[in-house]
Amino acid sequence: MQTLRYILMRLAKAAVILFAIVILNFCLIHAAPGDPAAVMAGEAGASDELFLQQLREKFGLDQPFHIQLWKYISGLLQLDMGYSYRQDAPVWDLIMDRLPATLLLTGAAFVLSIVLGVVAGVMAAVRVGKWADTAITVAALLLYATPLFWVALMAILLFSVQLGWFPSYGMESIGSELTGFRYWLDVAHHLVLPATTLGLFFTAIYARMTRASFLETAAEDFVKTARAKGLSEGRIARRHILRNAILPVVTLAGLQAGQIVGGAVLTETVFAWPGIGRLMFDALLQRDYNVLLGVFLISSAMVLLFNLITDLIYLLVDPRIELNT
Amino acid sequence: MKKALLSGLIGAAMVATAAMAEPKSGGRINVVVQPEPPGLMLGLIQNGPTQNVAGNIYESLLRYDKDLNPQPSLAKEWTVSDDGLTYTFKLHSGVKWHDGEDFSADDVVFSADVFLRETHARFRVGLEHVESITAPDAETVVFQLKNPFGPFLGMFEAGTMPIVPKHIYEGTSFKDNPANATPIGTGPFKFEEWKKGSYIHLVKNEDYYIDGLPYLDEIYWQVIPDAAARAVAFETGQIDVLPGGSVENFDVPRLAGMDNVCTTTEGWEFFAPHSFMWVNNREGWTAKPKFRQALMYAMNREFMKDVIWNGYAEVAHSPVSSKTRFYDTDVAKYEFDPEKAKALLDEVGYDGTPVRILPLPYGETWNRWAEAVKQNLDAVGVKTEIVATDVAGWNQKLSDWDFDLGFTYLYQYGDPALGVGRSYISSNIAKGSPWNNVSGYENAEVDQLFADAALKASAAERQELYTKAQAQIVEDVAAAWLLELSFPTIYRCDVKDLVTTAIGVNDGFKDAWLDR
């Protein structure tokens, strides 16, 4: 009961925050130089006043700012995210069209980095000071410090160009007309490089975080007690230390999960992955206001949602934590 | 003697192989399209990527060979009356739209007179000279002009006057018609599928009105947003054709040097991309003609050509490209001469006020180019700063005249009346567009020369007027001309007959075939 009350309160707060975000985004985007009509006219290579005027009227850009804002918000309240004049389609359809590809990529990267990161962190911690620990720590530091796009390009050069193991771009073999299991195998084959690249950074963070937290917990009295009781080292590591050491990792995982919609712009661009990050980036360059606002809205909603979920997961991991609204 | 004989034999052998190569039908081709087009309805959108793809779906009445001579397309023959006022086109018979409806002269009249008049800014310029467009019968179209208009026969290119289906668009709101998402044309390829962010799939038009054409079964236009990734996709064999400009210049020599890879700079004659910097003629130091001349002498354009464009360019000496008609070969040239530049700067008493350079935000090549200009100008003592923007910001700054030097490149469209005059005549000065006379150059004599030249029917008379206009504009340095650009098309050598017209891959897949 208390949990339900807590969730409802949090959702109500989230709605207020979301509303503020929408208004802020709307103002920021309109403050950027240029507008969609000018960009579209620019691309046509030739334009006159009439052409620009037609476009602006069609987009509703000829109206005063506050009326545009009001129209957008009243549309949102009716669950209408607007229309992309550039792509000639409702924003909702555009986003839903791209969302699965992004969720597949970021989801795979998320799972990969948590599993790899935690395993590597524990391995380093139980062998603290030995060569395995040093190797893992150095590797994690390197990955943490290397820019994502560079890793991506190097991965393409090595695994696609030199070794020819994985395709360098796209989500499927275009025009191959595969179906069923073979299709998913093909997608998985395409997924390996981008998901790994995207996951490496967080893998490094999880590894470092897990190692530090694990070592700290291992020094606590209750671990000594467990050992004195005669429990096996493996059981102590899993049930006693890791369970207590995992809280900071959960916090970070909540952060990464928040980026699940909007966090893969670079990876999607380099690997030509047809996801939402590219939709957003293109929309930004083209000043496609409605699409950009739509993607922002969905991603900020995701961040709020995952923050809430993270807090609920704390409860599961450590029942001593109390909910407090 | 023996050597000569031998080379003669080799020559004969080569002719023989060329003659033996009969086009083969079938096959699939993978092409890069960059950036992803906003739409494929060519009557509404005419930007580069849209025309790349849709130029194979839609057609116009004519095509143009690499010397810009008209060739048949939807029109099989045409006549121009001696007074240059009546253009009569005979259309192919048996032409069908991709949805199976019959194509007729009514579609042409509707497209030119109704549809494009409303939607196509560049086409409207030509329409101003048109008195009437009529269809005496189903296979004849007559354009009656108010006055002779020199470049008129150059207006029947697919991107300038795409023919759209009347039965789909008549009486509807053109821009909101749901059919825009599934374009219907008369061209050699039909629209099949567009997976946004990934690819556009075109398939062979089995009912095409020329027997045997096209040869290819299908084309996949693939969207790969990163320039380096596009180069890799070609290297690894996933892509067969990189249309001009789809990879960075510094990658071109590496890709061109691969086995079984051919390049050509042909297929851009109609566009003849001409790069220059708008020079703000209104205010600041750039408003002084002598200062502008100093800029021209300060720039080492040979270096820009060889290093930044890897030699795929020529120095531009005039507002008219040497690759199209009416270029004056004797036009005065500003050679690289830093001393002369310094002398001119002293003469005008330049005080060191910084000059703002606005690069074109089209990728690495253009950034490096702006840096080269900065270096040249700094060397003669002109202080400069580079203003970084994205495309929308660049648009806005040029449209608001908020610049000193602004990079751009423009298409020439085969005739100075279509592609050159617009940048220099004073009636075309207006805020709000980066495509008019952005420099703000005003010269009544030049205005008159362009106005007269467009209306003359004889090429000789037009040449005389354009020669005078070029001399004046070059002396005034209305803009700082840089290079006549070439965008090499890079493709596998077993793709044959890809670039056969003045617009290259934009309508090239009609004749292309695979020798595999």
Q: Per CATH, which fold does A98-317 belong to?
A: MetI-like fold (1.10.3720)
Question: Is the domain of B399 the same as that of B307?
Answer: yes
Residues B363 and B215 in one domain: no
Shared domain check, B198 and B156: no
Q: How confident is the model at residue A47 (pLDDT cuts 50, 70, 90)?
A: low
Residue B172, CB half-sphere, CA atoms under 13 Å: how many? Answer: 13
Specify whether B347 is located in the same domain as B400: yes
Contacts of B390 in chain A (CB under 8 A): 285
Are B372 and B467 members of one domain? yes
* Nearest Cα residue to B502 out of B151, B264, B326: B264
Residue B419 and residue B299 share a domain: yes
| pLDDT greater than 50 at residue B18 | no
B360 pLDDT tier (thresholds 50, 70, 90): very high
pLDDT of B3 over the 70 cut: no
Average pLDDT over residues A26-36: 84
B408 CB neighbours in chain A (<8 A) are none
Residues B468 and B324 in one domain: yes
Residue B202 is assigned to a structural domain of this protein? yes
Q: Is the CB of residue A177 less than 8 Å away from at least one CB of chain B? A: no
Task: Report A:109-148 residues touching B (Cβ under 8 A).
Answer: none
Summarize the confidence of residues A63-90 as an average pLDDT. 86
Q: Which residue has the higher pLDDT, A120 or B431?
A: A120
Is some CB atom of chain B closer than 8 A to the CB atom of A187? no
Cα(B104)–Cα(A195) distance, integer angstroms: 53
Same structural domain for residues B346 and B473?
yes
Residue B14 has pLDDT above 60, yes or no: no
Burial class (CB in 10 A: 0-12, 13-18, 19+), B250: middle
The Cα A56–Cα A51 span in angstroms is 9
Interfacial A residues in 276-305 facing B (CB < 8 Å):
278-279, 281-282, 285-287
Hey, is the C-beta of A39 within 8 angstroms of any chain B C-beta?
Answer: yes
Query: Count of domains in chain B?
Result: 3
- Token reading at B263: 């390049």
Chain A environment of B28 (Cβ under 8 Å):
175
CA distance B171 to B177: 10
Q: Is there a contact between B45 and A46 if contact means CB atoms under 8 Å apart?
A: no
Contacts of B39 in chain A (CB under 8 A): 87-88
The complex scores an ipTM of: 0.81
Establish if A101 touches chain B: CB-CB under 8 angstroms.
yes
Same domain, B384 and B427: yes
B46 interaction partners in chain A (CB closer than 8 Å): 44-45
Residue of chain A with shortest Cα separation from B235: A161
Q: Do B338 and B453 lie in a common domain? A: yes
| Residue B43 counted as domain residue | no
Q: What is the mean predicted confidence (pLDDT) over A238-262?
A: 84
Q: What is the CATH number of the domain that holds B79?
A: 3.90.76.10
> Quick check: helix, strand or coil at residue B175?
helix
- Put simply, the answer to whether A175 touches B28 (Cβ < 8 Å) is yes
Ramachandran region, residue B260 (left: φ > 0; alpha: ψ -120 to 50; beta: rest): left
Statement to judge: residues B285 and B431 lie in one domain? yes
Which residues in chain B have Cβ-Cβ distances shorter than 8 Å to A286?
A: 38, 391-392
DSSP three-state, residue B20: helix
User: What angle in degrees, to the nearest 10, is found between the helix axes of A276-286 and A36-43?
Assistant: 90
Closest partner CB to B199 (pick from A45, A153, A174): A174
CATH 1.10.3720.10 segments of chain A:
98-317
Q: Looking at beta carbons, which residues of chain A come within 8 Å of B437?
A: none
> Under an 8 A CB cutoff, do A167 and B399 touch?
no
Mutation for B interface: A48, A95, A271, most B CBs within 10 A: A48
Residues B356 and B450 occupy one common structural domain: yes
Mean pLDDT of B182-209: 93
- Reported as a pLDDT band with limits 50, 70 and 90, residue B92 is very high
pTM above 0.90, yes or no: no
Q: Which domain holds residue B85?
A: 59-168
Asked if the C-beta of A35 comes within 8 angstroms of chain B's C-beta atoms, the answer is yes
Q: Is some CB atom of chain B closer than 8 A to the CB atom of A7?
A: no
**Could you tell me the CATH number of the domain that includes residue B229?**
3.40.190.10
Residue A5 reports pLDDT greater than 70: yes
